Amino acid sequence: MAISRYLHMKRHLLFLAALVVAINAVVAQQAVPTAPKTLSGIKEELEKSPNPPLYAKQILKRRFKIDTVVVTRTRIFNSLADSLAYHGKEKKVYGPYGPKGNRFLVQILTRAPNQFFHISQIFIDTSLFRYRIADSLGNAIMKKLKDGSASFEQLAATYSMGGEAATKGDLGWIARGVLLPQIEHEVMEHKKGEVFKMWSPNGLHIIRKTDEPKQDIGFALMLRVFL
């Protein structure tokens, strides 16, 4: 009887040991998931991951880089990065982008706001006109605006020497910190619709405050995962 009970207990313990080994194997597989094989699978798992950089490092075994992207304008973008930073959605993975052999995915990890100014400008370049002539032309433009003989848009298209001539003076929404400090200060001091004239080292600026400042997407933390 004792020997039979011993053998029964031994078989029970062996069964439990085998069960523990099997459970540990399942847990180990769950703790270290395998990397997806397809591009769509990689994008899907990155979007679901609570820590995408760690997932890229430990699971995908891919090289990655985290960039802080500054949005300076909301209409014209300097690169793909600031366009995605402004128009993209948080956590969503975009791409792939880049040339063959250096392809990468882009994920927007988080975004933060900044203050934006909407102004229009007529710019007189003093590298082309002497100060006295630029000042005289500026005064003539201000007079036309005051007496209503021409609109700001008409005068900008005719006289402005910057790229804004093509948009009838409209510079769009510009992030705080991008404008010259003295221009930014004057924009803050004036009311919506007011026009003022000021000088910079580049020339004469006739500026209209088109709208009151607003908060919009100004910064984004972006993850690039190289394929």
Q: Give 33-91 pLDDT, tens digit per residue.
A: 788 889 999 999 999 999 999 999 999 999 999 999 999 999 889 899 999 999 999 99
Residues 7 and 93 in one domain: no
- In the block, tokens 């005289």 appear at 136
Same domain, 23 and 91: no
Give the model confidence (pLDDT) of 4-26 as tens digits.
Answer: 433 344 344 344 344 334 444 44
For the chain, first and last CA: distance in Å?
66
Q: Could you tell me if 123 and 161 are in contact, meaning their C-beta atoms sit under 8 angstroms apart?
A: yes
Residues 73 and 28 in one domain: no
Cross-strand partners of 98: none
Number of structural domains found in the chain: 2
**Contacts of residue 32, Cβ cutoff 8 Å, sequence gap at least 6:** 59
**Same domain membership, residue 107 and residue 216:** yes
**CATH code at 111?**
3.10.50.40
Residue 117 CB neighbours (<10 A): 23
Cα maximum dimension of the chain: 119
Note whether 91 and 180 are same-domain residues: yes
* Residues 86 and 149 reside in one and the same domain: yes
pLDDT score recorded for residue 105: 96
Q: Do residues 3 and 79 share a domain?
A: no
25 and 70 both lie in a single domain: no
What range defines the domain where residue 21 resides? 1-32
